[in-house]
Amino acid sequence: MGRSPCCEKAHTNKGAWTREEDERLVAHVRAHGEGCWRSLPGAAGLLRCGKSCRLRWINYLRPDLKRGNFTRDEDDLIVKLHSLLGNKWSLIAARLPGRTDNEIKNYWNTHIRRKLLGRGIDPVTHRPLTHAASATTRERAPSR
């Protein structure tokens, strides 16, 4: 059994959103609020599925989203919260207003994790990398 599909795949747009679609989505959410995402596309006159509308709103169009680079304070807070909560990105995002869970996860994986490794800190345990772990890494490296 299971859940029915979120949309009729034959009659939905896929790919990049147009400015007009963004404007329709924003206008509808402003007028009616966030609610039933499944019925929103028909009510707003969009040929998109509800999931696509929800993700577009949450990740790109919400007026409270922060744009641009993460600050040093945000970096420090992400590291601190990750050491306490692990990879629970939505819980971390709840403590960083204007940032989405997906944005924080991507930032962790592309920037912070590498910074920690560069400083000799294990990004999983948040403890200094041991000599045994670095020796094991050297042993696996191909000999010249």
Question: Within a domain: residue 42?
Answer: yes
Question: Within a domain: residue 66?
Answer: no
Instruction: For residue 3, give Cα distances in angstroms to 6, 47, 50.
Output: 8, 21, 14
Question: Within a domain: residue 119?
Answer: yes
Q: Output the pLDDT for position 141.
A: 52
Q: Output the pLDDT for position 52.
A: 94
Q: Are 127 and 120 in contact (CB under 8 A)?
A: no
Q: Are 121 and 79 in contact (CB under 8 A)?
A: no
Instruction: For residue 27, give Cα distances in angstroms to 12, 20, 21, 44, 141.
Output: 20, 10, 10, 8, 56
Query: Looking at the structure, do residues 94 and 135 belong to the same domain, yes or no?
Result: yes
Blockwise average pLDDT, block size 10, the chain, 144 residues: 61 88 96 91 93 93 93 96 96 95 95 94 91 50 52
DSSP state of 95: T
Q: Output the pLDDT for position 65.
A: 94
Q: Which domain holds residue 30?
A: 9-61
Q: Output the pLDDT for position 28.
A: 95
Domain of residue 46, CATH code: 1.10.10.60
Q: Output the pLDDT for position 35.
A: 84
